[in-house]
Amino acid sequence: MGAASVSEYVASLNEEQRQHVSAFIDFMSTEYPQLTPKISFSMPMWLLGKKMYEGYVAVSAAKNHFSIHFSDEVFLNRLAEGLPACKKGKRCINIPYGDEASLRAVEESVGDFLKLYRSEGSSSL
């Protein structure tokens, strides 16, 4: 069975995975304290409303990369165009471990993503 809490999820990762996933979790907690992470689909996820269809951001770890997930495929496609070092997965951008420039670009885009959902009235932020 998967992790029941964000701290359990982080504890289950190897050192490299833990370092990068924890950095993103810390970023979200600092920049967007109004959003509370929970485990959904076996990964830390920040819901922008009460339900997933209202928007979400999530993070997960893999062997050679970690992924930042966005609920909006159009937004993700635009983001991926500017990140040639990253591959795109299904509703996620895969960032190779150690690619700090791509991580910073994705972190900067989170604010744009949240503004998009606020302006559409899809969220209670």
**Whole-number Cα distances in Å, 19 to 25, 75, 113:** 10, 26, 24
More confident residue, 23 or 124: 23
**Residue 20 burial (10 A CB sphere; 0-12, 13-18, 19+):** buried
Is the predicted pLDDT of residue 104 greater than 70, yes or no? yes
The reported pTM is 0.89
- The yes/no answer on whether domain 6-119 falls in CATH 3.90.1150.200 is yes
What is the pLDDT, as a whole number, of residue 118? 72
Is the predicted pLDDT of residue 15 greater than 60, yes or no? yes
Cα–Cα dist 21/15, whole Å: 10
**What digits encode the pLDDT tens for the residues 35-50?**
999 999 999 999 998 8
Boundaries of every domain in the chain: 6-119
